[in-house]
Chain A
Amino acid sequence: MTEIIKTDALIVGAGPVGLFAVFELGLLDIKAHVLDILPKIGGQCSELYPEKPIYDIPGFPTITGQGLVDNLMKQIEPFHPTFHFNEQVEQLESIGTPAAPLFRVRTNGDLTFEAKTVIIAAGGGSFQPKKPPVPGIEAYENISVFYAVRKMESFRGKRVLIVGGGDSALDWSLNLAPIAERVILMHRRDEFRAAPHSVNAMRELVAAGKMDLTLGQMTGLKGEGGELSAVTVKANDGSIYDFECNRMMPFFGLTMKLGPIADWGLNLHENLVPVDTEKFETNVPGVFAIGDINTYPGKLKLILSGFHEAALAAQKANRYVFPDKKVVFQYTTSSSSLQKKLGVG
């Protein structure tokens, strides 16, 4: 049995809205743990458009995705949230009552939380590896087709086809070349997005005869019982041939999927979580949904809407976490107690 992490609030998703929820909860003395399936903070802002300017954040005529995330991290620093990365919530179980909610939350990485409130700020869902639409690929997944490397040793002595042209494809080609019987990198063109030094290192290995590079696209898989024997490749000249290999790793970037949220006992509407607009609470008391993941009449998927939703959800969360506390609304401009919490008083 792993240790149970007890927390006032568990925030699912470390995007801008999840981060700002830490701030709003923190002003109310509510301690938060934050988890994300990505290995870093920022959600879509960091993953999809770190360098792109955003023009509709109030008070910032222009700010990049990463700039906003960096600022939010600075803003929530006084509240010392605990982050858990590479974690996806698999199970959410209610073990309290509607008046005094308590949730046991388990992740795919074997973490268990006991949280008085859960705030879902999961955006478009969880980022997951994009699967190539090759017929029947599911039968091979986690047997001979992998979207990530868990144990390098399992590739020892294998003929590994790596598909893609970005950093993941290049990094794993370089890492596995000394271990595998043979690493073959396949990409649709002879230009790579990956860091130039990795590309150079790859070209050196190819020149030294230590790995192969082939240009083309995958169209089919052959094998039995999940064990791959060959990949059908369409070369750039249009010819189609079978390429022998017994391990394959496609790196086609990430896509957003709702994921296990669908199994948490929440009402869903077109893959979104309906909430009220007073507290942004779901049909389960104590579970809130804020940001792009929620829906209500008039919903706009804007970061600024998510910030507002975080503030109101925090007010209701306050009543669950501190049922006996007298609620007095205060402004950061004038309240000495809030300023003390922010470390500026």
Chain B
Amino acid sequence: MVKITFIDAAGQSRIVEAEEGSTVMEAAIRNDVSGIEAECGGACACATCHVYVDDSWLEKLPKAESMEEDMLDFAYDVRPASRLSCQIRVTAEIDGLVLHTPEQQG
């Protein structure tokens, strides 16, 4: 299992275990992580699983593809560290990933 830390807008942090091959969004939904809605169920069609990647991980994650960038247009307060968690694949390489959830998913 891969460990992922979610820190909400108020600074509360939670560590969840994610299965390799799933997505970070799925791990968040399975563990009721607050601040992740995932309205469309992972189709990269809603931008309600928006997260900010912690500075320490920015360089280590594969970059967003253009479909994800397009969908991020629908998110709010998009920053250079913004990602859609349904598009981050859980692999052994991301064990220890730290993500921040936004105040609002819109």
Task: Report which A residues bind B (CB closer than 8 A).
Answer: 48-49, 52, 124, 130-133, 164-166, 187-189, 191, 193, 217, 219, 252-253, 255-256
User: Can you pick out 13 interface pairs between chain A and chain B where the beta carbons lie within 8 Å of each other?
Assistant: A48-B40, A48-B43, A48-B45, A49-B40, A130-B106, A133-B104, A166-B73, A188-B72, A217-B78, A252-B74, A253-B74, A255-B39, A255-B106
Give Cα A133–Cα B45 distance, bound, in whole angstroms: 19
Give Cα A124–Cα B46 distance, bound, in whole angstroms: 13
Give which listed residue, A49, A188, A252, contacts B45 with CB less than 8 A. Answer: A49
Residues in A neighbouring B70, C-beta threshold 8 A: 193
Give Cα A171–Cα B77 distance, bound, in whole angstroms: 24
Asked if B47 is an interface residue, CB under 8 A from chain A, the answer is yes
User: Contact between B45 and A132 (Cβ–Cβ < 8 Å)?
Assistant: no
Residues in B neighbouring A48, C-beta threshold 8 A: 40, 43, 45-46
User: Contact between A165 and B73 (Cβ–Cβ < 8 Å)?
Assistant: yes
Asked if B69 is an interface residue, CB under 8 A from chain A, the answer is yes
Residues in A neighbouring B45, C-beta threshold 8 A: 48-49
- The CB with the most chain B CB atoms within 10 A, among A52, A166, A252, is that of A252
Residues in A neighbouring B43, C-beta threshold 8 A: 48-49, 52
B103 to chain A, nearest CB (A): 8
Instruction: Report the tally of A-B residue pairs with Cβ distances under 8 A.
Output: 45
Give Cα A126–Cα B19 distance, bound, in whole angstroms: 34
Give Cα A50–Cα B20 distance, bound, in whole angstroms: 28
A218 and chain B: residue at smallest CB distance? B76
Residues in A neighbouring B77, C-beta threshold 8 A: 217, 219
Give which listed residue, B69, B104, B106, contacts A252 with CB less than 8 A. Answer: B106
Residues in B neighbouring A219, C-beta threshold 8 A: 77
Interface of B is mostly: loop
Residues in A neighbouring B47, C-beta threshold 8 A: 253
Residues in A neighbouring B106, C-beta threshold 8 A: 130-133, 252, 255
Contact with A along B10-48 (1 / 0, CB 8 A): 000000000000000000000000000001100101111
Q: Which residues of B in the span 54-70 have a Cβ within 8 Å of any Cβ on A?
A: 69-70
Residues in B neighbouring A256, C-beta threshold 8 A: 39
- The CB with the most chain B CB atoms within 10 A, among A131, A164, A189, A255, is that of A255
Q: Which residues of B in the span 68-93 have a Cβ within 8 Å of any Cβ on A?
A: 69-70, 72-74, 76-78
Give Cα A193–Cα B104 distance, bound, in whole angstroms: 23
- Given A52-B43, A132-B106, A133-B76, 7 further pairs, Cβ under 8 A: A130-B106, A133-B106, A188-B73, A193-B73, A252-B74, A253-B46, A255-B46
B102 to chain A, nearest CB (A): 10
Give Cα A209–Cα B69 distance, bound, in whole angstroms: 28
Q: Which 4 A-B pairs have the closest CB atoms?
A: A48-B45, A253-B74, A193-B70, A49-B43
A191 and chain B: residue at smallest CB distance? B69
Give Cα A191–Cα B45 distance, bound, in whole angstroms: 18
Give Cα A265–Cα B69 distance, bound, in whole angstroms: 42
Residues in A neighbouring B78, C-beta threshold 8 A: 188, 217
A25 to chain B, nearest CB (A): 28
A330 to chain B, nearest CB (A): 37
Give Cα A187–Cα B69 distance, bound, in whole angstroms: 13
B45 and chain A: residue at smallest CB distance? A48
A165 to chain B, nearest CB (A): 5
Residues in B neighbouring A188, C-beta threshold 8 A: 72-73, 78
Give Cα A166–Cα B73 distance, bound, in whole angstroms: 9
A301 and chain B: residue at smallest CB distance? B41
A272 to chain B, nearest CB (A): 15
Residues in B neighbouring A124, C-beta threshold 8 A: 39
B67 and chain A: residue at smallest CB distance? A193
User: Contact between B76 and A132 (Cβ–Cβ < 8 Å)?
Assistant: yes
Give Cα A44–Cα B93 distance, bound, in whole angstroms: 34
A234 and chain B: residue at smallest CB distance? B77
Given contacts A252-B106, A256-B39, contact A164 B76 (CB under 8 A): no
Give Cα A270–Cα B55 distance, bound, in whole angstroms: 37
B73 and chain A: residue at smallest CB distance? A165
Residues in B neighbouring A131, C-beta threshold 8 A: 106
- The CB with the most chain A CB atoms within 10 A, among B47, B70, B74, is that of B74
